[in-house]
Amino acid sequence: MREEVAHNRFRADLFYRLNVIGFRLPSLRERGGEVLALARKFLAENLVARERGVIGVSPQALDAMEGYEWPGNIRELKNVIERVAVLCAGRIVGLSDLPECLRTAGVKPTAVALVPVPVTEPPADRGPDDELWRICEALRKHRNNRARAAAELGMSRVSLYKKLHKYGLFDKTAVH
């Protein structure tokens, strides 16, 4: 802001009135992996997402979010999450659910089929015996290790893969 005042692009009197305690807060694009953590947090806290049963974000959507510059910082990220909570077609936020500016932000293939939102209890309209919820929780608990998740669920890894296909959580284009 001092630079803006020096170039007469910001009023000096207003700057000195507002500049009681000065500190530098790095922009979201400068903070590396915080986009993922914040996106998960905002999605988990979003009531619309919980009511609609949105439980996770696809790896392609996460890659797009991490590749985006976020000129609006955290407020823009929160607004995007609010938007996808309302417009998401399924239970997993996909690349197509994101605004166009994010979809074109350096998407790369990934090896993970699902990055579930940390959920501590099943959504109100789902019980603990809801299969998709149990699968996502097992994958989250075992950090997407499918063999361990399948063992916990009492099924073979092949059965887990079939379930992931059934629910649209397995991306054939992902690198394995």
The single-letter code of the amino acid at 8 is N
Residue 47's pLDDT is 86
State the pLDDT at residue 2.
Answer: 86
pLDDT, residue 14, reads 92
Encode pLDDT of 104-143 as tens digits: 765 444 444 444 444 445 555 555 457 877 887 787 777 7
Domains, the chain, ordered by start: 2-166 (1.10.8.60)
Nearest to 158 by CA among 150, 166, 168: 150
What string of pLDDT tens digits covers the 176 residues of the chain? 889 999 999 999 998 898 888 777 788 877 767 888 888 889 889 888 888 888 888 888 888 888 888 888 889 999 999 999 888 888 888 888 999 888 876 544 444 444 444 444 555 555 545 787 788 778 777 777 888 888 888 999 888 888 887 776 654 433 23
Q: Which two tokens stand for residue 97?
A: 């659910």
Q: Tell me the CA distances in angstroms from 42 to 59, 77, 117, one per residue in order.
A: 17, 9, 10
C-alpha to C-alpha distance for 47 and 102, rounded to whole angstroms: 23
- DSSP codes joined into one string, 6-53: HTTSS-HHHHHHH-SS------GGGSTTHHHHHHHHHHHH-HHHHHHT
- Give the distance from CA 121 to its chain's centroid: 18
Q: In angstroms, rounded to a whole number, what is the distance separating the alpha carbons of residues 163 and 144? A: 14
Question: How far is residue 139's CA from residue 150's CA, in Å, rounded to a whole number?
Answer: 9
Q: Which two tokens stand for residue 13?
A: 């009197």
Structural tokens at position 61: 């959507």
Rounded (10°) angle between helices 146-153 and 131-141: 130
- The answer to whether the Cα torsion of 87, 91, 92, 95 is positive or negative is negative
What integer pLDDT is reported at residue 48 of this predicted model?
A: 85
